[in-house]
Structure 1
Amino acid sequence: MDQAHALLIASPGLGHLIPVLELGNRLSSVLNVHVTILAVTSGSSSLIEIETIHAATTRGTCEIMELPSVDIDHLVEPDATVVTKIAAKMRAMKSAVRDAVKSMKRKPTVMIVDFLGTNLISIDDVGVMAKYVYVPSHAWFLALMVYLPVLDKVVEGEYVEIKEPLKIPGCKPVGPKELLDTMLNRSNQQYSECVQSGLEIPMSDGILVNTWEELQGNTLAALREDKDLNRVMKIPVYPIGPIIRTSGPIVRTKLTENPNGIFEWLDKQRERSVVYVCLGSGGTLSFEQTMELALGLELSGQSFLWVLRRPVSYLEVSSRDDDHVSNGLPKGFLDRTRGVGLVVTQWAPQVEILSHGSIGGFLSHCGWSSVLESLTEGVPIIAWPLYAEQWMNATLLADEIGVAIRTLELPSKKVIGREEVAFLVKKIVAEEDGEGRKIRDKAEEVKVSSKRAWTHGGSSHSSLLEWAKQCRLVS
């Protein structure tokens, strides 16, 4: 019998590319199927994406085909958001994807697209394939996405003005502090793209979601069993998480800080004593907020490792003038914190850092990939959400799962002062009793459950096998 073939399609941007690459690696290693990944990149100038694809190709578990980028300037407004640009690019790539599939000698058994490439579900003339959507986020986010077309019809006015939280059948309501940033302005095209994705997801044969039963059992049950949710989504949901980047040999690129220096410093720190600070590749802090964060870290007296870099746009070449990033820090800060803190001004190996025994907390933007990388190592989180679904993630982590502490106000709404920063850092890393201890203990419990989910016979391992049998990847 010929080896089954799975085709994965990644939308532009590291936040989409990396999760799809890791899903491909998991399918290849667990199911022993041939995996082809079509990478729709941001263009030849996107150095980070190119190096990520090169590193993944070097690992050699999947076949990766980079599709030539197409010009979408005539399809979107000059000030279009990232979501709008990605959705437009994926629509413009439809014929290229169709041609790529037709040219394959080994026809795919199944096609998997990420949730911003759902227009590809309707692709035709490529043979009979099962078509699935991969949601690299959590089940609550998925529930909101598929129910958004209903909310779009029944809610009047702007969501930010609603008095009561938005009700999603069987799930935790979504309040003003949890709204996706794509929902903040209903007249913006990115909102329309989000609603369209919510309509298209249920047109697939099923959904793979990057969570696991023990983490979100109630929400997953609602997606499967709630009659009101089932009216808009009658397809199966397969929780197969956590799927994250695995630690291993560090791939040195032009964008990677000397990792040896980082780990030599971490090796000198006490166990679980360091707060790791990283706000993702797309996070932007104002000058004033950067100052307050720095002074708060200093005021806490705790050891810290801070990855401080310029934000990188998903669809634009990044400025690599990182030598000047640290110029925005308070005067004398680096001298005063020498030995206590380490500031890294380029890319750092996050998975390896979070797995180091000295890391006791993670001040994070709460991107779901970073969240999972932290939770699978039992590292509690200081939630610092900035954009996308990160506000939703922060509430999930702090209020429902209990592995995080969050700021009193959203960091995107006001500057978080140094005293609050210091308070949060000391509570999550050093508090002997009370809330800090409970959060750290819960993080350890989640770590254990995340490992158990992927043991043979565990919930995610079994869910993946069930899905693979359903779409005939395995017998």
Structure 2
Amino acid sequence: MEKAQLVFVPWPGMGHLVSAVELAKHLLTRDQRLSVTILILQLSFINSKQVHNYIESLQASSSTISNSLRFIILPKDEPELFNFTSFIERQKPHVKEAVLKIIQSESTSDSPAPRLGGFVLDLFCAPMIDVANDFDVPSYIYFTSSAAFLGLMLYLQKIHDEEKFDPIEFKNSDAELPVPSLVNPFPARVMPCAMLRREWLSPTLENARRYREVKGIIVNTFLEFESYAIQSLKMPPVYPVGPILDIGSVGSNAPQEIMQWLDNQPLSSVVFLCFGSMGSFSEDQVKEIACALEHSGYRFLWALRRPPPPGKLASPSDYEDPQEVLPEGFLDRTAGIGKVIGWAPQVAILAHQAVGGFVSHCGWNSVLESIWFGVPIAAWPIYSEQQLNAFEMVFELGLAVEIKIDYSKDSEIIVKCDEIERGIRCLMEHDTEKRKKVKEMSEKSRKALMEGGSSYFWLGHFIRNVMAIKG
């Protein structure tokens, strides 16, 4: 029985790494001929302790999957001033050396060595195609965002190269773009942040160019959710295999205090506010959110994080005392209906029956989790491609309400109390049609992964293609 090994190169952020690991688990569960090695890149502003703890917990697992899944942490090699392109280029020799060692170690073992079946590269790691080419094996992109965003990247790259289109010139404009992966004209004012900063635009466009070289693109979405966007993507082959989520241990790491508080709340009564691993706000903005929550009168659970120091690439942290940024007396006045926390066990909270709405930054993992658990979103994007995700959820799919979809962390806009309160009321005042649509999509997301489901089919199709390609 011929075996094949895939080498995964995820972006080192936890959201990307966890998604890559979950994809690997799906592959290994489906076909025992496969094995996966995940190469861990190291970045100074990523919490390396969190990454190492996560890997150790996976390695400690006694499951049969853990025997077919291994991790190699690559040497740290990063210039003092972070530059996206140079970071990836500096990693190429480390990736090549690691793969050579894998091949050499397996060629000396007694059992037949699995052939190198290909590289599965994060959407940010497309330049690693060069390393796959050195080994004369195919490369695939694992696109951890939406099919709509993949379509936007390919569209912008095409019109940039053919028509000299510069997205940055359209910042804050009223222009609309005919993006093939979207039904509606796309407003330039909600262009993803990555397209509006010169230091990110160039590598983003270069990644999109490289996508056209790969054997296929695995997308963390499912056909019933993004049917229009998926069908708009003509080449290379696209495999919609999602939702790929880490929900196997729901609640296992959740602080008891948070879960007990939720246990005491009525069904679907709590609005949960959480803005991702990199989401935080200024003190002025925090006060506006607090004002909106207090005026709305809704029960709330708020994950409030401290921004990193200005100009520093780092993750937000928890406040030792959130009262330092909240309006005076806020915690006392809302003690009966609200709870302010730091880091949030998001999956466990969304899974809880007391949660009736989710004020979210619309990171793609968060969008998929909200769909999976049937919790409607109020969209408030902050960075990366989240503005597009918010536009798609609100206007394309009708599965979310808007707080401010053209917000970004680079803007100095303060979203006012009234605007936030309106969004929260719209979210929580039981728009029965929208809630029904979210619940229906939740059921479809689960069926997609079951035998006979659309994502089950596409994952099998990907595996068959990997096993059919000879080195």
TM-score range, shorter chain: 0.7 to 0.9
Task: Find the counterpart in structure 2 of residue 472 from structure 1.
Answer: 467
Partner Cα separation in structure 2 for residue 94 and residue 354 of structure 1: 39
Q: Identify the residue that residue 255 of structure 1 maps to in structure 2.
A: none
Alpha-carbon offset, residue 394 of structure 1: 0.5
Amino acid at match of 1:88: S
Residue in 1 that maps onto 2:141:
133
Give the paired residue count: 445
SS of corresponding position for 2:72: strand
Counterpart for residue 77 of structure 2: 70
Q: How far is the alpha carbon of 1:373 from its aligned partner?
A: 0.8
2:188 alignment counterpart: 176
CA distance in 2 between counterparts of 1:161 and 1:364 reads 22
CA shift for structure 1 position 151:
2.0
Cα–Cα, structure 1 residues 55 and 295, in superposed 2: closer, same or farther, change >3 Å? farther
- Which deviates the most, 407-416 or 359-368? 407-416
Give the C-alpha shift of residue 295 in structure 1.
Answer: 1.4
1:210, 1:240 within 8 Å by CA — same for their partners in 2? yes
- 2:95 aligned residue (97, 102, 108): 97
Q: Taking structure 1 as reference, are residues 371 and 326 closer, same or farther at Cα in structure 2, changes over 3 Å only? A: farther
Residue 447 (structure 2) pairs with residue 447 (structure 1): no
Matched residue, 1:207: 217
The offset of 1:388, in angstroms, is: 0.9
Task: Report the CA distance shift for 1:473/1:208 in structure 2 as closer, same or farther (over 3 A).
Answer: same
Is 1:15 aligned with 2:10?
A: no
Q: Is the 8 A contact 1:12 1:41 kept in 2?
A: yes
Could you tell me how far apart the structure 1 residues matched to 2:405 and 2:316 are? 31
Task: Please state whether the residue corresponding to 1:207 is helix, strand or coil.
Answer: strand
> Sequence identity, in percent?
32
Q: TM-score, normalising length from structure 1?
A: 0.87
Deviation of residue 275 (structure 1)?
0.7
Change (3 A) 1:247 1:103: same
Contact 1:159 1:183 in 2 (8 A): no
Q: CA RMSD in A?
A: 2.5
Q: 1:223 and 1:320, CA in 2 relative to 1: closer, same or farther beyond 3 A?
A: closer
Deviates more, 1:102-111 or 1:122-131: 122-131
Map 1:400-439 → 2, pairs under 5 A? 400-407=396-403, 410-412=406-408, 413=411, 414-431=413-430, 436-439=431-434
Deviates more, 1:32-41 or 1:350-359: 32-41
Q: 1:405 to 1:202 in 2, by over 3 A?
A: same
Which residue does 2:49 correspond to in 1? 47
Match of 2:203 among 193, 196, 214: 193
Q: Does the residue aligned with 1:382 lie in a helix, a strand or coil?
A: strand
Q: Residue in 2 aligned with 1:340?
A: 337
1:40-79 residue CA offsets vs partner (Å, 9 max, x unmatched): 1214963333333333333463211111210223xxxx4x
In the alignment, structure 2 segments of 5+ residues that lack a partner are 107-113
Q: Distance in 2 between matches of 1:58 and 1:41?
A: 22
Distance (Å, rounded) in 1 between the aligned partners of 2:336 and 2:289: 18
CA 88–171 in structure 1, closer or farther in 2 if over 3 Å, else same = same
> In 2 relative to 1, CA 17–176 (structure 1 residues): closer, same or farther, beyond 3 Å?
same
Shift of the 237–411 alpha-carbon distance from structure 1 to 2, 3 Å rule, reads same
After superposition, the Cα gap between the structure-2 partners of 1:155 and 1:284, relative to the gap in structure 1 and judged at 3 Å, is farther
Q: What SS does the aligned partner of 2:141 have?
A: strand
Task: In structure 1, give the amino acid aligned to 2:319.
Answer: D
Q: Is it true that 1:220 corresponds to 2:230 in the alignment?
A: yes
Report the AA paired with residue 16 of structure 2. H
Note if contact 1:276-1:362 (Cα within 8 Å) is conserved in structure 2: yes
* 1:459 corresponds to: 454
CA distance in 2, matches of 1:150, 1:420: 37
Compared with structure 1, are the counterparts of its residues 246 and 24 closer, same or farther at alpha carbon in structure 2 (3 Å cutoff)? same
- Distance in 2, matches of 1:283 and 1:301, equals 24
Contact 2:379 2:405 in 1 (8 A): no
1:162 CA displacement: 5.5
Match among 305, 312, 318 for residue 309 of structure 1: 305
Partner of 2:109: none
Q: Secondary structure at the match of 1:388?
A: coil
CA contact (8 A) 1:11 1:41 kept: no
Q: Within 2, Cα distance between the matches of 1:127 and 1:409?
A: 44
1:20-419 mapped onto 2 (5 Å cutoff): 20-32=20-32, 33-43=34-44, 46-59=48-61, 61=66, 62-73=69-80, 78=81, 85-104=83-102, 105=106, 106-123=114-131, 127-153=135-161, 154-156=163-165, 158-160=169-171, 164-169=175-180, 171-172=182-183, 173-185=185-197, 188-224=198-234, 234-248=235-249, 252=253, 259-311=255-307, 318=315, 320=317, 322-345=319-342, 347-407=343-403, 410-412=406-408, 413=411, 414-419=413-418
Provide TM-score, normalisation by structure 2: 0.88
- Offset of residue 150 of structure 1: 1.6
In the alignment, is the contact (CA less than 8 A) between 1:207 and 1:235 conserved in 2?
A: yes
Q: Which amino acid aligns with 1:420?
A: E
CA contact (8 A) 2:3 2:115 kept: no
Instruction: Give the conservation status (yes or no) of the 8 Å contact 1:13–1:41.
Output: no
Cα shift readout 1:209-265 (whole Å, capped 9, x = no counterpart):
0111111111111113xxxxxxxxx3201101111111416565xxxxx61111111
